[in-house]
Amino acid sequence: MPATVIDGGAIAAELLMSLREDIACSEHGAPGLGTVLVGDDYGAAAYERRLRHLAEGIGCHYDHRYLPADVELAEVLATLGALNADPRISGILILRPLPPQIPEEALYRRLDPLKDIEAVHPWNAGLVALGEPRFTPSTPAAAFHMLDRYLLDSGRKPSEFYEQSTIVWVGRSNNVGKPGMWLGLERHATVISCDRWCDEHGRMRHFARQADVLIVAAGVPNLIGADDVRDGVIAIDIGINPVTDPETGKVRLVGDLDYDGVASRAEAISPVPGGVGPITDVWLFANTVKAAGLPRWVHELGQPR
């Protein structure tokens, strides 16, 4: 049987309808999203354009700050400070990857924790790890929302499925892989984490083939092929990789899975584009709406609640 292709666009459309209702009923005015892009990464720039378009469609204030790749850390920190202080901005997103002279941890610590909608500030990351998130990071949240929805649609109870399943996360970034592991553990799944060191030492296939659910967010096209997965796996592809067609010169986005190969063995698979991405976009704005309603006294008292 061919793999079921999970339509992230349809799931995102349902979430977007609910989000528009939340914005229309909000007592806190229009939410505001601020984004910061350092350099000219193709994938990050494409993501920023999607967010800009979505903000216009839902009536969200949007403020994008672009900085050149050779910018100094002090200027990036000053840009974040300006967004922290702007009352029109309720949520801030730092687009990745960052150039090598800009340590992401330094930026994360500078974020106002109540505007840190991706939960990368140490306070918020800690709350996610404790199972009490102020914000659930949008990409891993989208992946699990997609999984929950697929399981329900296929007649399974998500809680029972996770308790009996092994989830393998490939990729260990601070905003996707690490919080994704915590979300899996909160569902009482067995969670295995793999990263480039696992691949470099030839152990990726060993662990990937143990997955009931394989979630790949490594940023490496075709990292996982048919021989790396077991029959019946549910494969979620979070990778966003620009590749250039040698004949036309056009750039297109592909995931981290060898899509056709993995689909030949999988129970279900998410495509790129059209899978986790659209859900992530809507979830990010849902976090922005939530941030708009957080009481400022929480921040003023220094309480990471």
- When divided into structural domains, the chain yields a total of 2
Residues 187 and 223 in one domain: yes
Backbone angles phi, psi at 17, to 5 degrees: -60, -45
3-state secondary structure (DSSP) of residue 253? strand
**Could you read off the pLDDT of 268-303 as tens digits, one per residue?**
999 999 999 999 999 999 999 999 988 754 444 444
Residues 164 and 265 in one domain: yes
**Could you read off the pLDDT of 142-163 as tens digits, one per residue?**
999 999 999 999 999 999 999 9
**Could you read off the pLDDT of 164-216 as tens digits, one per residue?**
999 999 999 999 999 999 999 999 999 999 999 999 999 999 999 999 999 99
Residue 76 lies inside a defined structural domain of this protein? yes
Residues 38 and 148 in one domain: no
The string of DSSP codes covering 108-170 is HHHS-TTTBTT--SHHHHHHHHTT--SS--HHHHHHHHHHHHHHHHTT--HHHHHHT-EEEEE
Residues 156 and 243 in one domain: yes
Residues 150 and 238 in one domain: yes
Domain that holds residue 46: 30-118
Considering 89, 118, 147, which residue would you say is the last residue of a domain?
118
Residue 49 lies inside a defined structural domain of this protein? yes
Residues 101 and 147 in one domain: no
**Could you read off the pLDDT of 211-258 as tens digits, one per residue?**
999 999 999 999 999 999 999 999 999 999 999 988 899 998 899 999
Residues 71 and 180 in one domain: no
* Angle, alpha carbons 112-117-119 (nearest 5°): 85
Residues 149 and 104 in one domain: no
Average pLDDT, the chain: 94
pLDDT band at 28 (very low <50, low <70, confident <90, very high): confident
CATH of the domain at 230: 3.40.50.720
CATH of the domain at 57: 3.40.50.10860
Residues 145 and 91 in one domain: no
Whole-angstrom Cα distance, residue 181 to residue 177? 6
**Could you read off the pLDDT of 30-52 as tens digits, one per residue?**
899 999 999 999 889 989 999 99
